[in-house]
Structure 1
Amino acid sequence: MSTKHHLPRVMGNRGKSATEIERENFEKNQAVAINKAINNQETPVKEKHVRITILGTFTDGGAGMFWHAATRLPVQGNPIVCWKFLHVLHKILREGHPHTIVDSYKYCSHLNDLGKLWGHLKEGYGKLIENYCRLLIQKLRFHKKNMEIPGNLLMSDEQFAKICGSDVNNYDATYSFEIAVDMLDYMDEILTLQQSVFSSLDMSRSNSMTNAGQCRLAPLILCIQDSCQLYDYIVKSLFRLHSSLPPDTLSGHRDRFVSAYKKLKQFYVSSSNLQYFKNLVQVPYLPDEPPNFLIASDFNKHVKPVAVVPEPENEPDTDSVGDLIDTSDDKLDASFGNGFGPPEIDERDMLIESLQREIQFLKSEIERIKFEDQRIISAQREEISKLEKILSELRLSADKALKENESTKRRLEEATANAGAVAKLAEAEKHAKANEEKFKKMKEIYNKLREEHVALIRKNADTAKKLEAEKRLVQEREQSIQETKSQMDRLENERKVIQESLQQSADQVTSQLAEATAQNTELLNTKEHLENQVKMLEDTKANLMSQLQTSEEESESLQSRLEALEQDKHQSEEALQLEIKNAKDQLASLKDEMTTLEIKRKNEIDSLKSQLEDALSEKAASEAQMKKEIEELQTRLTQLDSDKLATEKQMREDLSQLHSSLIASAVKEGRQFIDDAMQQVENPTHIPVKCTAEFLLMRAEPVLSALANLNTAQNVYCQNQTELESLLKTITSFSHHMGDCVIHGIATSHSAQLEAGEELVAACQTAGESGLEVLNFLEKGGSIQSAVEKSTQKVRQLIRLAEDLVPKMVDVKEKEIGDLLENEMHSTSSAIEQAAKKIEEMLHQTRKDMSGVELTVNESILDSCTGLMQAIKVLLVKSQDLQKEIVLQGRGTASVKEFYKKNHRWTEGLLSAAKAVGMGATSLLEAADKVVKGEGKFEELIVCSNEIAASTAQLVVASKVKADRKSKKLSELSEASKGVTSCTGKVVGSAREAAQIIEEQNLMDFTKLSLMQAKKEEMQSQVRVLELEKELEMERYKLGQVRKRHYQLAGENGGWETEKS
């Protein structure tokens, strides 16, 4: 590196010790690595920065440094930063120093608050962060509760069996039950997180190959690793539980496992299909069916799933930890006190820094191995303390045995001078047996001690193997081995002392037994009356002697075993010394290799320097070439910008023209519709079309709302031209409503008085022209406010004229209007019934008086008329039922007559329709009578039936106005109306069929006509046709005048009068 680059660092470190500088650099490198790993870019966390952070936990001995830097990150303001923070924390908990779990447990509340905060965000990373926080909290609680389980969950089967209990019949079932529940909870949180991650991705696209998708998927690799270990431990623990507990007790465990098994299998399948995971992790596969815990042999089929994660390759660390500071970030510059610009990148410096990182990694590995060795040594010390405790217990037992032997001796002495020596001798025999049992127990304890001693020697051998290739720890291990040897020697000496004391106790017992035998012999010689008892004592003596001989043989066997054990111990010590020697030799070879490697690296640095100089020269040339290319690209970019502006201008003009053409098309269509409606004034075929003023009012009112909507839509379109569709719909709606109003106004004028009709036609024409004017203004693109207001005034004038044509009620009493309606409906029903009876009489009479074709014709007509009368009768009944329902629902607290008076216009419609139905029935009866008698025409019958159909339709419409759309009686009335329409069609069909039959009979036979006669008939027919056309025209005019008069007279005869304007 250059002197300029090192100058500020040297000046800043002046006055500090090497340890302080090293610690300061370590904290700085850790902070930079954490900030590089946890940034706001939606990309996966870089593995090299995470590795540096993990190594830092071994150097620091925990996660204190990590949390010190992590608490200053914006995890509460940026979801991506929070997501990456949780990912890095998960990696550290798995692969970092064992104390990281203890240091991180106190931050569970912080993780819980983060989860709740981001859980309110329903989209993006919100739910993912909430589930990830819950997973990490569960992991910390799990390891806090089970301190023996490491963070990466990697254990041997022996370690896991030791945690759950080595003996199936004696292990702690309660603890195994609880740890199985904890592992299932841990697995559920993993599955919840992976499900939320996959749910947030669109699996129909290649999300795993995008930076955003990889950012979300990266933590799932850790979840796969954890889930493999958890699955294996859960299966093993459940099989052990099923071997000692009833199946019903574990039904909940089995159900939870089956549910987790299905989700975990789908998780592995989904992960294995992702291209992103192909080179990062080898996803395992689960068997097709979960294991059956009720069958113990299924455990042999269990295969542990293994997720293989390849070791990451050493990437060329172009932004190494020492130079990770981005000089464009003022905050980092300020925090580390680096006021100078960034150094020039030197490949030699990069190589040196790479070696420094390797050294740092080796240091951390040494620290980790040292920590592991300390743990093993502490375990050995615990074993030694246990053995010392056992030895102390053995000493106490030996002392107690000596005391009991002395007590037995004293009792034997007392037995020689006592006449009750026989009883005391028996008691001494019992004590001898007790001593023998204690001796056997001591023998068992010794065997156990020997086995533990052998196991301790084996553990020492394993410890020696693990301490290979560690230069700094060789002396420590030798010291620990020497200490262990001294402790073993001390234990051996104590064992010899115990053996000697036991031998002495046996000798004392032997001598005491001999003395007792002698004393017993003297007692036999001196006391004849105790001969039987002495014989028993001699037998006891023989037994004790045989037992003593057996004890001596066992002692000799133990001695031989101790000698063999001592020989094994010497062999183990020699093997250990040999392994230590080999380790020293390997360390020396490693030093030689390191020296060779340094020389090689020095040569490589020299070659790299020369390559760097060549690269700098090539860089200067490439920079000049790139500068030239940049100038050319800048020129092309300027040209593209101008082309883009021209294209956008042309597109805006085309879009404007397209909008104008669409608006013009809509206006043209609307103008044609309104023009067509206005031209119906001059159409003679439109004269028979009639309309009531009430219906005209119904068709005119929507025009006003259409005008207001059109004005609003035009204003909205002027502000936002994307609302073109709404404007076109409004134009079409306005045109149809205006044309509909005009054409119905013209139809209404046909039934009004002459002056009123002409005035109404003029108003229709004016309204239509105002509507056309609105469309014209709209087509020109200007404001239509004034045109809309003018058109609104014209339409309102049309509405006022229509209201003048509506008949007004005479001031009648409240009780008359209800009675009038009921009387009219009753009279109509009576007229229908009378007409039906009259037609039946006519049909009966016709069948008596007529025959042949005439009977067939009249019978068909009268049958159809009878069916029509029956249908009308049903219609009237349904109409009256619906009217009663309407009055009952709408009158409230008012009376029926008050309801009719309040809704006078609806009542007028009902009265008019009822009168029309009664008159139509009477007309139909008269026309049928004339036709049967041969005095009438079939056309009269057709007209009368059509009039009845129109009258019944008016009655149905008048009833529907105030009816509920969901009313059952309304649907019944509609069905009855359809029946009247069907019967009317039958009457018309019968009349036309009868007319055709009669016409065919009266048709002249033209086959016998000559040429002159045929010509004459043709001319007469032409004259007749012209006369009929003239008469038809006159009749149509007459029909119009008669209908006008009829409309006026209908009101006057019913008690109504027109309001004079």
Structure 2
Amino acid sequence: MLIAPISLPPDFSFTSVVRPRFEDHLPTRPVDRDKAESELSLNIKKATNPDETAPKQKHVRKCIVYTWDYHTSQSIWTGLRVQPILSDEVQTFKALILVHKVLQEGHQCALKEAQAQMGWFETCARTVGADSMKGYAALIRAYVNFILAKLRFHRHHKEFNGLFEYEEYISLKNIDNPDEGYETIMDLMNLQDQIESFQKLVFAHFRGSANNECRISSLVPLVKESYGIYKFLTSMLRAMHRRTDASDALEPLRGRYNSQHYSLRKFYYECANLKFLTSLINVPKLNHDPPNLFDLPDEGPLLPPRQTPKAPSPAPAGPSQAEIDEQARLLKQYEDKQAALKAQEEAERQRQADLAAQQQREFEEQQRLQAEQQRQAQEQLMRAQMDQMQGGRLAELEREILAMRGQYERDQLMLEQYDRRVKALENELGSIGQNVGAQMAGKDELIKQLQDQVTLWRNKYEALAKLYSQLRTEHLEMLAKYKQMQIKAGSAQEAVDKMERMERDVKAKNLELADMIRERDRARFDLDRIKASQKEEMDRLKRDLMFANERAEDATRAKSSELSGMMGTLNRQISELEEALREKRDRADQLLHQLDAKDDEIARLREEKDAELAIMQEGMDATIKQMSDLQLNQGVTDEAVNAQIDTLILDNTKKLNAIIDSILQACVEKVDDAIYELESPAQSGNTTATPEYVLSMIEKGSTESNEFATVFSLYLSGEAGGEHVEVIKRANQFAQTISDTLLSVKGITRLAQSDDAQDRLVRTGREAGDVLLRFFANLQSYRLAGIAPASRRDAVARQNMEARTALGNLNTVVEGMVKAGNSMLKNANGDIGDIVEREMLSAASAIDAATQKLQALLSRPRDSSRFSAVDLQVHDAILEASLAITKAIAGLIRAATDSQQEIVAKGRGSSTNQQFYKKNNRWTEGLISAARAVAFATTMLIEAADGVISGTHSLEQLIVASNEVSAATAQVVAASRVKAEFMSKTQDRLERAAKAVTEACRALVKQVKTITDKQSNGAADADYSTMAVHEFKVKEMEQQVEVLKLEKELTQARRVLGAMRRAGYHATEDDD
């Protein structure tokens, strides 16, 4: 770049601006080189640890002191290369901060030796990727670019120290040349722009919720270095303005200086608002307007000392006469020579005058050409300065746009947070609205069904009313006919009277009315016939009328009672439905009011947030000033206490997270064990499980999955209800439920219709188990550490959704094992609660009947002629054991009834019993099936005991019946355990009753086996020792053949038993 020469006074020198202070330094304290090397390596390791905190000042200070002690920094570079700082972005960033401070405050050798380490800096910039988890990638690359620019500046300007303090400035070579001074100022300003762009990038990478201490620590050397450059530029520009009159040529420098002044003032203002930064250094404060560069500085730099001229020596004493004569002679000779020389000189002067005139003309021509060149150079300089000013203004506008873009991004982040909160509230309100809509739709559908039923019964009632009106019409018609017959009978009597009068007239007029006699006789005959026919008709009509009246009365009474009962039931159901509808409408109105209140609250919160932001913005400066004054005195103590508190909180949090991780790992292992048992051919699982029970367990697992996900989300956000105890309890309950579900799935594989169905069931269970295993594993702290805190709740919800989907797939496969017509509730008439109670009462009645039958068998007469005394004792023992089982089963049914009533009372809430049973239809069917199984197993046990006594059944049948009782007992307990409350006393009583039944069954089986062993021991064993070899081999082969036949029969019997169980499960029992 062409720089126009500036006319400066001859005595001007930039050495007058600065004062040299740099001298050679030797260690003045005793030091141990080996110990210092080891301490230096340790200090570098501590200063560049992976913790996201600022490098401690004592470690950095020791590295700086090392360079002053030994006048070298090679050990520091060696220590940095040895440490694994490139593997972690935080360590890399802290290493750059350490190097920057050593270059600033270390010995001058650090700057010289750092010139050879530029490759290491470039390696630091290349090591970090395009993006990073902790957000240091862009900062590291920008920091490396700045340090490289600083090293390039010091390579060209070796006279400057690391902090650019003008007191430490030695000298500027050839600085009397204005071009070099101008270029030096431009290089300093370029470096100042690099500092400005890097500090803006640091502020843009601050995180709102994370610890920014490491990022803030990088601003400390930037503040020092920028202030040193600023002071030197101020002094240097003042000196140039004071020593030259070409102020127009310095106008670009003044404009750029003023722009950097405002940028530095803003930078120092933002730094003063950082508590951590103000506790480390005193942030400079600049005036609002830049200093006047035309004024003299308040405290100018000192000039180097000048040598004072020496005083003249005193004159010597006067000469003698001989010396005077000699001097006169010499003077005469000198004058003669001078005269000759003068003539010669005069001639030479004339020649020189001619030559000077010619040179003057040439010089004036050169001056004219030089002035023309200077004018052209000044014009070109002015154009270049204008272009540079425009470029500086453009750069300033770009920086302002970058700052505004950073502020816009921060505002956008805040708005996104509010939008996410509002969207979450809207989603919550939407889900509430959907739930209300679904409930209202369900209720509307139920009301529609009831209205259809009411319409059906109304149609039936209208048909019966029509039939009644038809019968009444027929009855009235019969009454009308009866009256007509009575009228006819009356008219016949009148005819008889008339005939009598005619007879009297005939007697009077025998001669005139002779022909009327025959007519009279004929009329009498007709009259008798008509009377007879009318009497028979009247009797028949009376009988029909009587029968019709009786039928009408019976039909009226029956239909009236039936209609009254139906109308009462329907009116009661309609009133209940109207009440439920009224409650749901009230609930919907309340939810709508809550929705309006939430909307108002959201609007109010927005207004309050806007007002709070405005108030906070207004009071920010005053508050920060007061806080800075207070924190100057209390900052160190508060930081130490806060650091200790933060350390304790962090340690406790780590311990609690470790406990949660261990609990989740235990849940993973529990689910993994259940998956192993599900896939293991040697395990049979829960052999007493049924598909209804498995469906209820899957439903319970889905519910507990939602509860666990909700509690864990509250735990992540630190809200109420998300305590560690709740997380541990919910996790253990959920894992136990999943383990029981998988074992029950293994148990119902015995009911599958084919091997493909078994494989599909096991495969679906395995897939569900794997999803739930990943659910627990992905919630551990080391896995959540890689997810942003704002997205962790979404990750939990996503895992919960996957778990519910896997359980839904398993539910679909298990539902395929339940036939459509096998539902006990679809074809049920009446209240479902009444059905459940009826089944429980039926089971209790069957048990009571069994107990009475056993007592009757115990009190039977002993037939000693048929059975021996030992057989009678065996029979009594069997009956007593069976009676103990029935008594235990009776206690089990009572405990199951109490448990069922407690579950319904606590689970139904504000709904009715029928609604609770319908909502949990799978559990209800399982409970009914368990009650029926207990009743059926007890009946089979009594029949087997009776058959053993009467000789129609074997002891093995009694053992099988006892095992069936144990299985039915386990089914009852499992059905109640699905919905039982935690630590329920009724559930404990049910468990104890089931244990009593199991022990009674075990005692019966043990007694029967004892009897069987006695019978088998009573048979005489053959003496195989006396047999011949051939006979022994024949007997052995016969026994092997017998064993093979029995094993074949056993395999076939087991196959048939499995097929019967699969077919028998889907069969529907008939209600007797």
TM-score of the aligned structures, taking structure 2 as reference length: 0.31
Larger relative contact order, structure 1 or 2 (CA cutoff 8 Å, min sep 6): 2
